[in-house]
Amino acid sequence: MKDKVVIITGGSSGIGKACAEVFGINGSKVVITGRNKVNLDETALLLRSKGITVLAIQADSAKEEDNEMLVNETLKVYGKIDILINNAGISMRALFADADLSVLKKVMDINFYGTVYATKYALPEIIKNRGSVVGVSSIAGSVGLPGRTGYSASKFAMNGFLEALRIELLNKNVHVLVACPGFTTSNIRNTSLSKDGTIIGESSMDEGKMMSAEEVAWSIYKAVEQRKRDLVLTSQGKSTILLKKFFPGLVDKVVFNHISKEKDSPLK
């Protein structure tokens, strides 16, 4: 990965920040984005203190024009793009019957359309350099999570988009990776949207029992290096996807029971 130019959306916290550090310490030049300039600048300062070459660009993944600007600025500074890691994401926690539709649209705009926009503008460079497109998806992109209909829908959509893109690019030697981390210690649950779109502000789960963002980042790094097509992390995630193929009704009940035990679960 030495001297590869890596764009990481949502790179100021969680998995994105960890990816920036892992790729950076292995010699990549990283570009990180985020909507919060203070967090973005703090992350960039931390990365530079570790000797990492980093460009921080304030951008909103949900805006097409911001994604076009991101690619243009990267090319101005580094002259190329080798890897795009579509990591920017947001979640929600509310029953569909109770949720305002604007909440689902916001989640879809960031998680799915953010991936579409960034990939669209970065793709010509990635094709030229036979690089990689990565989508940081979720087990929720293979198994629907109650209380997170918008989140699951966005990740199912991301998975389908990247799978179709991979097939389109078979003869271009472009690597497409769908990474599904499972439950990971990150900021995404703290910034989840409630039924009316306000930020919940606290996690509904025991974060201490989850895979760390750093572990996920190293797994993504190795998967990019080895040009894997899929990455499913945690034994819970792997077993859930496998069981769904053969016992879908059982998985429905297991998932329902698991989510119903969450703190302040929306399931009755």
In a domain, 222, yes or no: yes
Catalytic residue (one of 78, 117, 121, 151): 151
- 248, part of any domain: no
The answer to whether residue 26 scores a pLDDT higher than 70 is yes
179 located within any domain: yes
Region 129-138: mean pLDDT is 97
**Burial class, 261, CB count within 10 angstroms (exposed 0-12 / middle 13-18 / buried 19+):** exposed
| Count of structural domains, the chain | 1
Mean pLDDT value of segment 180-196:
77
The per-residue pLDDT for range 215-259, each reduced to its tens digit, is 999 999 999 999 999 999 988 888 999 999 999 999 999 999 988
Residue 265 lies in a domain: no
On whether the CB atoms of residues 67 and 115 are closer than 8 A, the answer is: no
Q: Can you read off the two tokens belonging to residue 117?
A: 């926009």
Instruction: Look up the CATH number of the domain holding residue 44.
Output: 3.40.50.720
Q: Count other C-beta atoms under 10 Å from residue 93's C-beta.
A: 23
Q: Residue 112 falls within a domain, yes or no?
A: yes
Q: Give 55-78 pLDDT, tens digit per residue.
A: 999 999 999 999 999 999 999 999
User: Is 24 a member of any domain?
Assistant: yes
Residue 28 has a pLDDT of 98
In a domain, residue 266? The reply is no
Side-chain-facing half-sphere of 140: CA atoms under 13 Å: 23
- Model confidence at 113: pLDDT above 60: yes
Print the domain residue range for 173.
Answer: 5-238
pTM of the model: 0.92
Active site residue 113: no
Q: In angstroms, what CA-CA distances link 85 with 80, 134, 135, 244?
A: 15, 5, 6, 28
> If you ran DSSP here, which 8-state letter would residue 143 be given?
S
Q: Is residue 94 part of a domain?
A: yes
